[in-house]
Amino acid sequence: MNTMTYKGYTAHIEFDERDNIFVGRVLGVKAIIGFHGETVAELRADFETAIDFMIEDCKTRGETVEKPYSGKLMLRVPPEVHAHAAMMAEAHGKSLNQWAADVLGNAR
């Protein structure tokens, strides 16, 4: 997956062959934030402008700026998966949270 990051926000990038432009969409926020450019430089500039505008617009309206992710993740898994993960964490000398964060951080 092609991505771009700015101020903690990540965007998914694709090439639109029909219009011969790069298009992007910011991930992890409720608002639909899209941008585009004919070159990578234009794409990056439009991405940064879109993020800066969203931040300023929220401040102007007195709203809290939406962050991409809180860092809290709740999962529902079968009991046997939970037990196996807990055993793996213990075997590695880590808390389940630390172990899961490491495993998820290395996922590709």
pLDDT tens sequence across 18-73: 999 999 999 988 889 999 999 999 999 999 999 999 999 999 999 999 887 777 88
Long-range contacts of 48-51 (CB under 8 A, 24+ apart): 48/6, 50/26, 51/6, 51/7, 51/9, 51/26
pTM over 0.75: no
Identity of the residue numbered 17: E
- Ordered alpha helix ranges (H), the chain: 40-60, 79-91, 96-105
